[in-house]
Chains A and B, each alone.
Chain A
Amino acid sequence: MRRGEKCLLLAVLATLMAALILLLIQSAGGGGAAEVYHVSVLLDAAESDRWKNLRAGMNQAALERNVDLRFIPRYDEGAAQSEILRQEWEGGADGVVVLPTEDLTPVLKEAPDRLAVGILGPRTARGVGDCCIAPDYAGMGRSLAEAAAELGSCTLYVEEGAGQTALELAQAVEAGLAGLGVPCERRTADPADLPPLPEHGALAAVEPELLEAICAVRGTRGRAFGVGTSDTLLRALEEGRVAAMVVQSDYDMGYLAVSQVTEQLTRGKTGDVTLETYTATGENMFRRPMADILFANY
Chain B
Amino acid sequence: MGKRSLITWLNERFSRGSIRSTMFASFTVSAVVAILLTGATLFARFSAQMDATIEEENQILVDQVNQSLSTYLRDVIRLSDSLSYNVIKNTDMESERLDERMRLLYNTYSDYVENIALFDSAGSLVATAPPARLREGADVRERDWFRRAMERTENIHFGGPTVENLFADDAYRWVIPLSCAVELTRGRETGLGVLLIDLKYQAVSDLFSSVQLSGNGYVYLIDGAGELIYHPARQRIATGLVEETNLDAARRSDGVYTEYRDGQLRSVIVRGVGYTGWKAVGVVSQPGFRLGDSQDILFTVVIFCAFFALLILMNFYLTTKITDPIRLLEESVARLEQSMEGSIYVGGTTETRTLGQAVQKLVDQMRKLTDDIVREHEEKQKSELNALQAQINPHFLYNTLDTIVWMIENEREEDAARAVTALARFFRISLSKGRNIIPVRDELEHVRNYLLIQEMRYKNKFRYEILSEPAVEELSTIKLVVQPIVENAIYHSMDFMDGGDGLIRITARLAEGELQISVEDNGLGMTPQVVEGLLAGSPAAEPRVPGRGSGIGLKNVQDRIRLYFGAQYGVTIDSEPDAGTLVTLHMPTVPFGEMEES
Contact = CB atoms under 8 A, between A and B. Distances in A.
Interface centre among B227, B232, B299, B302 (most CB of A within 10 A): B302
B285 to A, nearest CB: 14
Interface stretch (B184-192, B306-314, B569-577): B306-314
Give the dominant DSSP class at A's interface. Answer: helix
Contact of A298 (B163, B216, B239, B240): B163
Interface stretch (A123-131, A173-181, A214-222, A283-291): A283-291
Interface in B124-179: 160, 162-163, 165, 170, 172-174
A32 B238 contact: no
A56 B236 CA distance: 12
Contacts of B312: 5, 8-9, 12
Contacts of B299: 23
B25 to A, nearest CB: 9
B295 A286 contact: no
Contacts of A141: none
B163 A19 contact: no
Contacts of B308: 12
A12 B298 contact: no
Given A20-B302, A249-B235, A286-B163, A9 B313 contact: yes
A291 B174 CA distance: 10
Contacts of A256: 241
A295 B237 CA distance: 14
A32 B293 contact: yes
Nearest to A8: B312
A57 B239 CA distance: 13
B239 A295 contact: no
Interface in A29-86: 31-32, 53, 56-57, 60, 64
B318 interface: no
A269 B213 CA distance: 30
B172 A292 contact: no
Interface in B206-238: 216, 227, 232, 234-238
B564 interface: no
A231 B238 contact: no
B470 to A, nearest CB: 72
Contacts of A53: 235
Contact of B305 (A12, A22, A27, A235): A12
A232 to B, nearest CB: 9
Contacts of A235: 170
A53 B309 CA distance: 59
Contacts of B21: 2, 4
A238 B236 contact: no
B298 A291 contact: no
Contacts of A289: 238-239
B23 to A, nearest CB: 11
Contacts of B20: 2
A292 B235 contact: yes
A194 interface: no
Interface of B: 20-21, 24, 28, 160, 162-163, 165, 170, 172-174, 216, 227, 232, 234-241, 293-295, 298-299, 301-302, 305-306, 308-309, 312-313, 316
The 7 lowest CB-CB distance pairs between A and B, nearest first, are A292-B238, A16-B305, A289-B238, A19-B301, A251-B235, A296-B235, A23-B298
Interface of A: 1-2, 4-5, 8-9, 12-13, 15-16, 19-20, 22-23, 26-27, 31-32, 53, 56-57, 60, 64, 231, 234-235, 238, 249, 251-252, 255-256, 276, 286, 288-289, 291-293, 295-296, 298
